Amino acid sequence: MAQKAVELDRETFSCSICLDLLKDPVTTPCGHSYCKNCIKDHWDTEDEKRIYSCPQCRKSFTPRPELLKNTMLAALVEELKKTGLQAAPADHCYAGPEDVACDVCTERKLRAVKSCLVCLVSYCEKHLQPHFDVAQFKKHKLVEPSEKLQENICSRHDEVMKMFCRTDQQCICYLCSVEEHKGHDTVSAAAERTERQRELEGSRHNIQQRIQDREEDVKLLQQEVEAINGSADKAVEFSEKIFTQLFRLMEKRRSDVKQQVRSQQETEVSRVKELQEKLEQEITELKRKDAELKKLSHTEDHNQFLHNYPSLSALSESTHSSSINIRPLKYFEDVTAAVSELRDKLQDVLRETWTNISLTETEVDVFLPQPEPRTRADFLRYSHEITLDSNTAHRRLLLSEGNRKATRMNQPQSYSHHPDRFTGWYQVLSSESLTGCCYWEVEWRGRGVYVAVAYKNIIRAGRSQECGFGFNDKSWMLYCDTNREQTTFTQPLYAGLYVDDGASAEFCRLR
């Protein structure tokens, strides 16, 4: 009785979300109590719906209730902790909102540890025990707990679907195989799984090999990047050194020319000024002599005139005009001509050298992507309106919305026989061929929709990998990944769709 009381206390004062003793307990308007952080985190996930529910009774509240600490409950939990009471042991782990519950528990359900594909029931550890003890149960297939066990039941015959129809590519029960699937290529689900598993392993092997190859390529490219960077750094360092030396040499030559011109300028100016002073002295002397002669010419005394004339008429030697070397506007033209010639030659050398530098640039054998569109408006420049070719559609695909939409149906459609039709894969190709840069958008509903492109000569009949989008060298399927796939298309492409059970996909009208 004491043990039962302890278990009751443990259950009463445990949070049904974390299954531990309550921490900072709060109580919802419906009367259930939770750890403050547990219910807060649970409701944070429901913020988008703006409807907040109780994880136990599922009662909804709008708006989000304000939760206050339940001081009485908190005090009781603290007292229980002093008695040594802890969280529920492993064999009393109750099912939370995100767990699969045991289908056998009649009261508060425990968390399921396994699901049986034969019984189609999920079991907690206690109720699973007969599957280990009873001989008939030991043959049952146990898997991780699943809420989708009912999907293994045929909706038509209420039987477990243990068969697979390869003709219609769907799981069926035994009664289906002798009724509406009579005459079809049917095998056991286990056999089909074995074959698909082999294909899956083959695909995984190819993917892993490609990953390994790409990783090696990445390493080689990284080494190439390091080599390029190292070589570029050395080239820049060396060229900076050379150009610095050239700049210093040019600066010295510039200084030498300037000094030479200024020195010659000073010499020439001094020579000219000296000659100028000499001429000015001669002019002064001539003016004085002219004044004396003028005065003598006005003398009335003939004897006095004749007596003074000989001494005044004698002139000093005149500066000859040939000693004055006049070169109007032609001073230092030889210097400017030499500097101009140097500039032209230097330009020719630099131009020829730069051409040689450009021709000897290292080329890296890497196909880098061209600048890509980044906004939807950029992509829309390459938009194409795409319609689906009914002659290629699998018989389980219904085309609608002007052959822009494909929906997976349970019943085959009344398409006529055509050699272009896919017979094994639920696929369809576009009517239009695509070349150059093309863009389109697909809206889908449900699961199992794949967008692809393929060459026209892809194999259509059968269900081998040679027919499936993305499993051969004639088609490519869109798959979200951090690595970018690049290839060169050698033929016009056709847009394609693969649509699985309960799904549909539509090529959007782009505006």
Report the pLDDT averaged over residues 436-463: 91
Question: Residue 165: in which H helix or E strand, if any?
Answer: strand 163-165
- Determine the pLDDT at residue 458: 95
Report the pLDDT averaged over residues 266-290: 89
Does the bond joining 63 to the residue before it have cis omega, within 30 degrees of 0?
A: yes
User: CA angle at residue 233 from 231 to 237, to 5 degrees?
Assistant: 120
Pairing of strands 427-434, 493-499: antiparallel
What does residue 144 show for φ and ψ, rounded to 5 degrees? -60, 150
Residue carrying structure tokens 């699973």: 128
Q: Among 86-90, 115-119, 370-374, name the most confident range.
A: 115-119
C-beta separation of 306 from 313 below 8 A: no
Least Cα distance to 425 among 178, 199, 205 occurs for: 199
What DSSP line would sit under 180-217, residue for residue?
A: TTTTS-EEEHHHHHHHHHHHHHHHHHHHHHHHHHHHHH
On the question of pLDDT at 128 being above 60, the answer is yes
**Dist CA 427 CA 444 (whole Å):** 14
Percent helix, percent strand, percent coil in the chain, to nearest 5: 40, 15, 45
| Amino acid found at 424 | G
Report the pLDDT averaged over residues 108-126: 87
What would the pLDDT profile of 210-261 be if each residue is shown by its tens digit?
Answer: 999 899 989 989 999 999 999 889 989 998 998 899 899 889 989 998 998 8
On the question of pLDDT at 359 being above 80, the answer is no
How many C-beta atoms surround the C-beta of residue 325 within 10 A? 9
- Identify which has the larger pLDDT, 328 or 30: 30
C-beta separation of 123 from 114 below 8 A: yes
- Determine the pLDDT at residue 368: 41
What would the pLDDT profile of 308-339 be if each residue is shown by its tens digit?
Answer: 888 877 766 666 555 566 655 566 778 888 88
The terminus-to-terminus CA distance of the chain in angstroms comes to 74
- Identify which has the larger pLDDT, 97 or 180: 180
When mean pLDDT is compared across 77-86, 277-286, 359-368, the lowest value belongs to 359-368
**Dist CA 502 CA 33 (whole Å):** 40
**Dist CA 286 CA 305 (whole Å):** 20
Is the overall model pTM greater than 0.85, yes or no? Answer: no
C-beta separation of 359 from 353 below 8 A: no
- Written as six digits, the tokens of 449 are 């929709």
| SS3 category, 297 | helix
On the question of pLDDT at 208 being above 90, the answer is yes
**Dist CA 417 CA 391 (whole Å):** 8
What DSSP line would sit under 43-72, residue for residue?
A: HHTTTTTT-EE-TTT--EESSPPPP-B-HH
Q: How far is CA 255 from the centre of its chain?
A: 56
On the question of pLDDT at 87 being above 70, the answer is no
- Determine the pLDDT at residue 358: 57
When mean pLDDT is compared across 80-84, 227-231, 260-264, 439-443, the lowest value belongs to 80-84
- Determine the pLDDT at residue 9: 56
Report the pLDDT averaged over residues 29-41: 88
On the question of pLDDT at 371 being above 60, the answer is no
- Identify which has the larger pLDDT, 137 or 6: 137
- Identify which has the larger pLDDT, 405 or 239: 405
- Identify which has the larger pLDDT, 76 or 467: 467
- Determine the pLDDT at residue 82: 74
Q: What sign results for the dihedral spanned by CA atoms 338, 344, 350, 355?
A: negative
**Dist CA 192 CA 184 (whole Å):** 14
- Written as six digits, the tokens of 473 are 């060298």
When mean pLDDT is compared across 1-5, 259-263, 486-490, the lowest value belongs to 1-5
- Determine the pLDDT at residue 409: 93
**Dist CA 278 CA 286 (whole Å):** 12
On the question of pLDDT at 282 being above 50, the answer is yes
When mean pLDDT is compared across 420-429, 471-480, 481-490, 497-506, the lowest value belongs to 481-490
**Dist CA 400 CA 408 (whole Å):** 11
- Residue 163, CB half-sphere, CA atoms under 13 Å: how many? 20
- Determine the pLDDT at residue 148: 79
- Determine the pLDDT at residue 356: 62
Q: Hey, which residues does 445 pair with through a beta bridge?
A: 504
On the question of pLDDT at 361 being above 70, the answer is no
pLDDT band at residue 480 under the 50/70/90 scheme = low
What does residue 385 show for φ and ψ, rounded to 5 degrees? -85, 125
pLDDT averaged over every residue in the chain: 84
